[in-house]
Amino acid sequence: MTEIEKTILNAKPLADKEQLPFAIAQYWPRPGASIKIKQTAVKELIANHTLIVGQSRSGKTNAARRLIEEILLWTDARVIILDPNADFRLLKELDTDLDMSDPENVEFSSEWSKVAQQLGVATPTGTAWGIKWSALSLQEMAAYLNVSPTEAFEEYRHLDRHLKYEKQMERRRKSQGQDTSLGTISEFMTSGYFDLAVGEDLERYRLRLQELSELDVWWKGGTTKDLDSLFDGDYRAVVVDLSQYSEQVRMITASRTLQALWGRGECRRKKFLQSNTERWNGTVVVIDEAHLFAGPKPEDPQKQLLGERIQRFADQGKKLNLYLVLVTQQPGKLHPEVLAELNNRIILRVNERRSLIALEETYGGLRGRYNGALTFQKGEALIEGALLCDESPEPAMPRGIQFNKARTKEGGGTPNTDWAIPRTRKQKAPT
């Protein structure tokens, strides 16, 4: 008997008199629990760090989309999505196969049309894209240039001096009533610093800047908005589409996104501490293919900086009302310090024991308790951690659930496999 079948049998005798509209899956929150217990369970899901594990076509993207839909419909949380596979870029739109004869889907369609107006997408073809060079710290600039005090020290020293020169010129322009901005990366490259500095390493530093400036990741000035402006706005959700770009662009954009959210979290915390009446809604940051961004051994300064950002979110993010949802096929490739901080675990189908062993070694408990995930059907999952607060005492074994189908359109990051269906003799080959 599968874990899901056991759950169904155990759930049957319970009368669910008080239903909560927040519904990501069957059998969670626990049928028969009071409305207060169910609300607490949802709060423990959202105001905690969560791991979603599953192989390709296990239903993990559907699970993440359904979770995002419910958060935006029924809570006041904000959602930011780092989307390397374009799976969430069409989140505004309804699934074309949605059964509109179902009254619940009709209601969802009506409510989602309002949510969609508050959903932004960061992409070069959209209303906002690019990072302002002037918004970066020395640490960020150095990481993006792949220099540090211990690696490529001469170029790092030029960057430090260059930045100090520009800040001095900024103060001078301010005293003269001129534009005080440090400008775009292109303007930074045409700085007067290069007329004053000398040395063989100066040309190497210039070449690093030139190579970095050619990436399609920078704000170019003018009337267009930069990436940070999306997070400053009133959007309930922002999808950062990372699907069309090189790994370097993905790392830089993801790193800047997390830093921008952290800075805003610090500002909100200050206001909150100064006024007990300040309302402060949390932000849920969904990172798809998280093992690509938070690996255990970063290979270069850019990946190292991004990994440090995610570790900081996992370790200290809650005090700034920042919560992670990490979606991955390979939990064993996540940084162990990040993995250890994920209070909620959702495990869909996996094809090998190695990933399950990584989870067992991280979280302890009974060995083999995730083995049911090896034979799951699409959408079936095990849950454990703070998610099981709807049972008392908290069970030692995870619970089986069945995720409900998401009602928004999937972005199509994964190609379909219709081309592999063999033709019959009566069918003609496509021309």
pLDDT higher for 104 or 426?
104
| Rounded distance between C-alpha atoms, residue 111 and residue 113, angstroms | 5
Q: Are the C-beta atoms of residues 230 and 120 closer than 8 Å to each other?
A: yes
Task: Give 223's Cβ-side CA count (13 Å radius).
Answer: 0
Three-class DSSP category at 256: helix
Instruction: Please tell me what DSSP assigns to residue 413.
Output: -
Report whether pLDDT(2) > 90: no
pLDDT higher for 296 or 414?
296
Residue 418: predicted pLDDT: 81
Residue 425: predicted pLDDT: 82
How much is the average pLDDT of 391-419? 88
Strand partners, 382: 347, 400
**Model pLDDT for residues 298-322, shown as the tens digit of each residue:** 878 899 999 999 999 999 999 999 9
**Model pLDDT for residues 79-89, shown as the tens digit of each residue:** 999 999 999 99
pLDDT band at 13 (very low <50, low <70, confident <90, very high): very low
Mean pLDDT (the chain, rounded): 90
Q: Are the C-beta atoms of residues 29 and 381 closer than 8 Å to each other?
A: no
pLDDT band at 173 (very low <50, low <70, confident <90, very high): confident
Residue 8: predicted pLDDT: 39
| Rounded distance between C-alpha atoms, residue 247 and residue 140, angstroms | 17
**Model pLDDT for residues 202-240, shown as the tens digit of each residue:** 999 999 999 999 999 999 877 678 999 999 888 999 999
Residue 100: predicted pLDDT: 93
Share of the chain above pLDDT 90, in %: 74
Residue 315: predicted pLDDT: 97
Omega of the bond leading into 398 within 30 degrees of 0 (cis): no
How much is the average pLDDT of 243-264? 94
| Rounded distance between C-alpha atoms, residue 172 and residue 28, angstroms | 61
Residue 408: predicted pLDDT: 96
Q: Are the C-beta atoms of residues 236 and 79 closer than 8 Å to each other?
A: yes
Residue 159: predicted pLDDT: 96
Report whether pLDDT(277) > 80: no
Instruction: Please tell me what DSSP assigns to residue 362.
Output: H
Residue 40: predicted pLDDT: 96
pLDDT band at 200 (very low <50, low <70, confident <90, very high): confident
- A 10 A CB-CB count for 115 gives 17
How much is the average pLDDT of 357-386? 95
Token pair for residue 206?
Answer: 């210039």
Angle, helix 103-116 to helix 60-74, in steps of 10 degrees: 80
Residue 181: predicted pLDDT: 65
How much is the average pLDDT of 262-272? 94
Residue 177: predicted pLDDT: 76
**Model pLDDT for residues 110-161, shown as the tens digit of each residue:** 999 999 999 999 988 777 899 999 999 999 999 999 999 988 999 999 999 9
Full DSSP string of 10-53: HHTT----S--S--SEETBSPTT--HHHHHHHHHHHHTS-EEEE
Rg of the Cα atoms in the chain: 24
Which structural domains are found in the chain, ordered by start?
A: 3-131+218-414 (3.40.50.300), 134-213 (no CATH)
Residue 431: predicted pLDDT: 67
Contacts of 117 (CB under 8 A, 6+ apart): none
Residue 71: predicted pLDDT: 97
Is 0.85 surpassed by the pTM of this model? yes
Report whether pLDDT(9) > 80: no
How much is the average pLDDT of 285-289? 97
pLDDT band at 256 (very low <50, low <70, confident <90, very high): very high
